[in-house]
Every structure is written in structure tokens, then in C-alpha cells.
Amino acid sequence: MSARDDVLAAIRAALADRPDAPEVDRAYRTRDPLPPGADVVDLFAERVADYRATVTRCTAPELETAVAAALDGAPRVLVPDGLDLEVPGAVVDADLSATDLDALDAVVTRATLGIAETGTIVLTHGPGEGRRALTLVPDVHVCVVRADQVVPGVVDAVAALDPVRPQTWVSGPSATSDIELDRVEGVHGPRRLHVVLVDG
């Protein structure tokens, strides 16, 4: 008998005279309703901005111009494979080390989806999104989200995502607070998040 078996046997013995646990209601929500009259894309933009991120709305033909403006002249910009955008100062990721990534000024990625209720962007690290380190090391993250990728809430996001893909959920720039509640940004991720929201 293994140590694991010993532990489980001890737990079973301790619970032997306890009543069975009550049935748990498993009728979870499968959709997240929006507040009355709310537009999912407008709400997403509002909630992203609430997290001290910058939101730029544009049309598809304006996308490259909007991304360039969001980069604000950053000279060295990391781009993942499959981004499919012309980016000024682009440096293509070729398995760069963390030190190499830290020497870059910004990163531009796409997202898998956006969540309106929480102002969250979700990356699953496919084409145009890159590996997780790309969005955690450079100081500025410019993320492109299409309006048709925005879902109302977390329940909708979980239902839409592939559970076997790696996921990074981002709500605003990296931030933490010390014991006196002084907010510090950029400690464990980008100090600035700029979401470019593509309408239509």
C-alpha cells in the first residue's frame, strides 16, 4: 500500500459516520446577460478603459494607422508569427530570450476574444498572438480585438474557448498594490495596455 492509499484510507475512515453531502445544484448559467440597453462592444470599451488601459476604436482599413499611433514611435516592436499587419519597427519573434524581449519597447498581438462585463482580453497563443512571454515582458502591449470577438461575460468566454489551449486573461496593465494600497504598474507584465478595437 502506498502513502497515497494510506492517506485516502484515513480520510474514508474519518468520514465513515458522517451523513452524505447534500446534492449540489449544477444548473449553472450558460450565458451572461447584459445590463438592459447595453451594447456589448461599447461596454467592452468602457470596461477596458476602467482598468486604466487605453482604447482606440477604428475600422478595418484604419487598423494599421491606429496600431502605429498606439505605438507612439516605439523603435523596436515585437510581432508574433501570423500577425498579418505592417508594424513600424517590427522585430519578428524567433524564440527570443527573456533578456532579448526585455530590450524591446512594445509588442503587438491579436486576441482570441474580449469580455465586455470585465473588460478582459483573452489570448490563446495561436497565430498573431504568439507565446505567453511575448505579452508579459515588453513594457507596452498593443492588442487588436475585433468587435465580433467580444462576448458579454465570463461564462460566454469559457463556453467559446478551447479548454486544451493555453490561455492568458488580461484585465488592464500589470498592477499591484502594497500594504498601504499604493498602486504600482508594470511589476509583472506590461505597464501600458493599449487595446485597438476594430469595428465592422
Name all contacts of 129-132 with Cβ < 8 Å and 24+ positions apart.
Answer: 129/80, 129/82, 130/78, 130/80, 130/81, 130/93, 131/80, 131/93, 132/166, 132/168
**Count of the separate structural domains present in the chain:** 1
In this prediction, residue 80 carries a pLDDT of 94
In this prediction, residue 184 carries a pLDDT of 62
CATH of the domain at 125: 3.40.50.10420
- 187 Cβ neighbours under 8 A, 6+ residues apart: 174, 175, 176
Q: Domain range for residue 100?
A: 3-199
- Arithmetic mean of pLDDT over the chain: 88
Strand, helix or coil at 83? Answer: coil
Please give the share of the chain, as a percent, with pLDDT higher than 70.
91
Q: Rounded distance, CA 148 to CA 125, Å?
A: 19
95-124 per-position pLDDT tens digit: 899 899 989 999 999 999 999 999 999 999
135 closest CA partner among 79, 83, 182: 79
Whether residue 139 contacts residue 106, with contact meaning beta carbons closer than 8 Å, is answered with: yes
68-91 per-position pLDDT tens digit: 999 999 999 999 999 999 998 899
In this prediction, residue 17 carries a pLDDT of 85
For 155: left if phi > 0, alpha if psi spans -120 to 50, otherwise beta; the answer is alpha
User: Which residue ranges in the chain fall short of pLDDT 70?
Assistant: 32, 174-179, 181-189
